Amino acid sequence: MGPCYQILLPRAWTDNDEKKLDEVIDAVSAEHTGRDCWVADTRPVHGITVLTHGRSFIIGTSPFDLSDAMHPVVQAKFMAAFGFTPADIAVVICANCKDKVDHVILAELLAGVADLLDGIIPMQVLLPTRDLPQRLQRSVWVNKAAWSECEPYQREMLAGMQGRLVTIPDYNDYWDCHWVSQYADAAFLRWWMTHPSFRMPG
């Protein structure tokens, strides 16, 4: 299984939203059975990928439990940043493989659908894989790194970024370390796809 991401939505899910998502699935897929898709052409969502044989993805929706996913302080900061509280349904897009092409298609789909539905994408925290000190490289969670240790490396990596990547302080009780949640708009994802360090961690 490859990386899997959500798109948080600013309003309740409607039949019209369902129709829009179905139209995206039809447009980008060489074939699909329900939400299981073989994505071959991302141009309908303003991507550039065109393949002879599609790549396996899941494109659908799932319940989003706001109280479970976001601490009230994070909810308030998200609202201040983006002007909405996420609805109780989120779009979910998952790559079933993790080659580079799957990461590119995933980002193209996320950006396209986020634009279509005015959504915001919760991101896995992006960190450089080569410049990060060895003690932090294997996993910031395993090593119990604090965000203050890692933030300068991300700031340098994302210098000149376009779009919005909003960082909201969080707290992980399990690891007893200060960390963050990050949320991106479609414009940031499109810029990130052009970056030499591009990947969709997860």
Buried (b) or exposed (e) across 18-32, using 16+ Cβ within 10 A? eeebeebbeebbeeb
Task: Kindly tell me if the per-residue pLDDT of 40 is higher than 70.
Answer: yes
Q: Is residue 102 part of a domain?
A: yes
Stated pTM of the model: 0.93
Measure the CA–CA gap between 144 and 77, rounded to whole angstroms. 24
Q: Is residue 89 part of a domain?
A: yes
Q: Is residue 91 part of a domain?
A: yes
Q: Is residue 75 part of a domain?
A: yes
- Based on the structure, what is the number of domains in the chain? 1
pLDDT band at 53 (very low <50, low <70, confident <90, very high): very high
Share of the chain above pLDDT 70, in %: 93
Q: Is residue 83 part of a domain?
A: yes
Measure the CA–CA gap between 56 and 116, rounded to whole angstroms. 22
Choose between 140 and 44: higher pLDDT.
Answer: 44
Q: Is residue 199 part of a domain?
A: no
Domain span at 75 = 4-192
How many other CB atoms sit within 10 Å of the CB of residue 99?
Answer: 11
